[in-house]
């Protein structure tokens, strides 16, 4: 299977939270999109591995994914070891994505930081034919970093995607993780993301980034390379008078 866009996420639910709107939008446009979760989430305070797997499968259907995989790297041990690099290389060579999405390296959770480093290194190594996995070498055309809810401060996005039309469906996917997010009937220990304020935080961030581009909801992304623009008239001239107030 060849994917247009492949997200690497440290845990089941990270892709939904941080770039679920983009995934839905790209699938709606006819692109083949997928998610590779690195861990089973066995160290999570709430829920079980089996329950999280069922939640991820439900969310995949809502997102419109063409593929969802799991590398079963130990939770809280997402290091850039040779073993883990080979797992990621095999996934990249299996799905041969044009774009790879990965977490920005500044993050609260160690797995998010380590995932960023691991994917950056493995994406390069995947293009080296002498690394033998029994597959053809493949290097993605570009790495695109998504922001986690802990690293927005001080980082300027390279671009923001309008997800206004996709937001409710994104949140439907997020809410499939009933073991992780706010559930007043739950008797499990409370965590940062299980509090009702966390869902308000997602709403606030999406509105904030949407406001920066003159829409209701947005998701921010970052690339290290300069972005080429051939036709500024086509790019900026068709956005309409509604956005003309933007600085």
The pTM of the full predicted model, rounded to 2 decimals, is: 0.92
| Gap between the Cα atoms of 219 and 108, Å rounded | 19
* pLDDT of amino acid 241: 45
Give the whole-number percent of the chain exceeding pLDDT 90: 70
* pLDDT of amino acid 145: 96
Cβ atoms within 10 Å, residue 213: 17
| Gap between the Cα atoms of 87 and 90, Å rounded | 5
pLDDT at 192 over 90: no
Mean pLDDT over 98-118 rounds to 90
* pLDDT of amino acid 194: 81
> Scanning the structure block, which residue is given the tokens 């904030």?
208
| Gap between the Cα atoms of 213 and 235, Å rounded | 13
| Gap between the Cα atoms of 231 and 34, Å rounded | 30
CB neighbour list of residue 105: distance below 8 Å, 6 or more residues apart: 113, 116, 117, 145
Which of these, 116, 29, 34, 128, lies nearest to 78 by C-alpha position? 116
Which of these, 44, 35, 41, 52, lies nearest to 11 by C-alpha position? 41
In terms of pLDDT, which residue wins out, 30 or 230? 30
* pLDDT of amino acid 246: 52
Give the whole-number percent of the chain exceeding pLDDT 70: 94
CB neighbour list of residue 4: distance below 8 Å, 6 or more residues apart: 26, 31, 32, 33, 97, 98, 99
Cβ atoms within 10 Å, residue 46: 20
pLDDT at 245 over 50: no
The pLDDT tens digits for 148-189 are 876 666 789 999 999 999 999 999 999 999 888 888 888 888
Domains of the chain (ranges plus CATH)?
5-228 (3.40.50.10320)
| Gap between the Cα atoms of 61 and 80, Å rounded | 30
Q: What mean pLDDT value characterizes the chain?
A: 91
* pLDDT of amino acid 239: 59
The pLDDT tens digits for 31-84 are 999 999 999 988 887 878 999 999 999 999 999 999 999 999 998 899 999 999
The β-bridge partners of 8 are 36
Beta strands in 33-158 (DSSP E): 33-37, 67-70, 99-103, 142-146
């Amino acid at each position: 299977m060849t994917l247009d866009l492949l997200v690497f996420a440290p845990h089941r639910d990270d892709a939904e939270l941080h770039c679920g709107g983009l995934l839905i939008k790209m699938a709606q446009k006819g692109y083949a999109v997928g998610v590779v979760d690195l861990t089973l989430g066995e160290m999570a305070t709430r829920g079980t591995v089996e329950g999280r797997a069922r939640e991820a499968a439900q969310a995949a259907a809502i997102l419109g994914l063409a593929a969802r995989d799991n590398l079963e790297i130990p939770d809280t041990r997402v290091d850039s070891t040779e073993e883990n690099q080979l797992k990621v290389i095999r996934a990249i060579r299996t799905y041969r994505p044009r774009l790879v999405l990965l977490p920005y390296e500044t993050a609260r959770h160690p797995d998010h930081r380590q995932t960023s480093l691991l994917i950056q290194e493995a994406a390069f190594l995947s293009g080296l034919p002498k690394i033998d996995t029994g597959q053809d070498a493949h290097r993605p055309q570009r790495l695109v970093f998504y922001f986690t809810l802990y690293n927005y401060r001080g980082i300027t996005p390279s671009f923001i995607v309008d997800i206004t039309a996709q937001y409710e469906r994104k949140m439907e996917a997020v809410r499939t993780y009933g073991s992780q997010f706010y559930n007043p009937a739950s008797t499990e220990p409370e965590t940062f993301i299980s509090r009702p304020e966390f869902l308000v935080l997602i709403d606030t961030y999406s509105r904030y980034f949407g406001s920066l581009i003159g829409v209701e909801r947005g998701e921010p992304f970052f690339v290290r390379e300069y972005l080429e623009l051939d036709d500024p008239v086509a790019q900026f001239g068709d956005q309409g008078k509604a956005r003309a107030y933007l600085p």
